[in-house]
Amino acid sequence: MRRNGPFALAFHSLVIAFVLAPLIIVVLVAFTPDETLTLPTHGLSLRWFRAILNYPDFISAFFTSVKLALISATISLAIALPAGLAIARARFPGRDFLNALLLSPLVIPGLVLGIALLRFFALIGATGSFAWLVLAHTVIVTPFVLRLVLSAATGLDRSVEHAAQSLGADAWTTFRRITLPMIIPGITGGWLLAFINSFDELTMSIFVTSPQTVTLPVRMYMYATESIDPMMASVSTLVIVITAAAMLMLDRAYGLNRILIGQH
């Protein structure tokens, strides 16, 4: 295997430092005892983490985001699983169109999609509804589940399924006992990726949320337009920790390298 040279290692190190530096600074600022966003600080304090408990809008928005991400990721899985298996394993009229339709939110800017959904919801009188917010998030996270299900289903060795059928197993038993366990890493990884993207979604959510359904990223954006203090850093740190934990679970379940570089 060819090793990276000193120049390549230095370049990669600079890229990683460039990406991680803002996150590290936010985390450090979250522990400041000062009234303003300052670094370096003259000590460490949990003051601004405790301040979150006195701001119920953040807590309410957090639970809204968690519930929204759980529901939208689950619905997207229910859509992407049968669609992914059909696209990967069958040939039928409209197959390519279905694949392109389900993956199309990946190429549509969030701003454009948010305005389109806002206009659509206004026309049908659905603004302010949590159910329609779930629908909007399902639209944008379904492609992530579909890509991983397609990857898992495409690399599936179907000889095992044929062997089960030759031994008398029906279609449902074959799927439940053979197919599903073999593609479960893709299913789990897709669901986690959908959860992460729904939980962190801001651009589209700004247009379709209402005062009753404000998500955590939208609440943070609204707070930042009014006041910037270390509490914003503490909330951001919690979001970073939750996202990092979900990414670690995703890596354990499916492997980040398979998502980022498309390995099967």
Cα–Cα separations (whole angstroms), residue 38 to 19, 25, 155, 233, 239: 20, 10, 51, 11, 20
Instruction: Return the C-alpha torsion angle 223, 31, 56, 201, nearest 10.
Output: 50
Percent of the chain past pLDDT 90, that is, above it, reads: 18
pLDDT of 130-143, one tens digit each?
Answer: 888 899 999 999 99
The Cα 74–Cα 204 span in angstroms is 19
**pLDDT tops 60 at residue 260:** no
Query: Who has greater pLDDT, 100 or 36?
Result: 100
The reported pLDDT for the residue numbered 254 is: 65
CA torsion angle for 8, 20, 17, 11 (degrees, to 10)? 20
Q: What's the pLDDT at 177? A: 84
Distance (Å, rounded) from C-alpha 200 to C-alpha 119? 23
Q: Of 64-78, 85-99, 228-242, 247-261, where does mean pLDDT reach its minimum?
A: 247-261
262, 150 in Cβ contact below 8 A? no
Assign 263 a pLDDT band (cuts: 50, 70, 90). very low
| Model confidence pLDDT, tens digit, residues 43-55 | 788 888 888 888 8
Mean pLDDT value across residues 175-187: 83
Q: pLDDT tens digits, residue range 116-131?
A: 888 888 888 777 788 8
Architecture of domain 54-260: Orthogonal Bundle (1.10)
For 64-73, 92-101, 161-170, which range has the lowest pLDDT when averaged over its residues?
161-170
> For residues 42 and 85, which has the higher predicted lDDT (pLDDT)?
85
Of 10 and 4, the one with more pLDDT = 10
User: How does the average pLDDT of the chain come out, rounded?
Assistant: 84
Residue listed under structure tokens 């530096």: 21
Higher pLDDT, 64 or 41: 64
Q: List the domain boundaries for the chain.
A: 54-260
Count of H-run helices and E-run strands, the chain:
13, 0
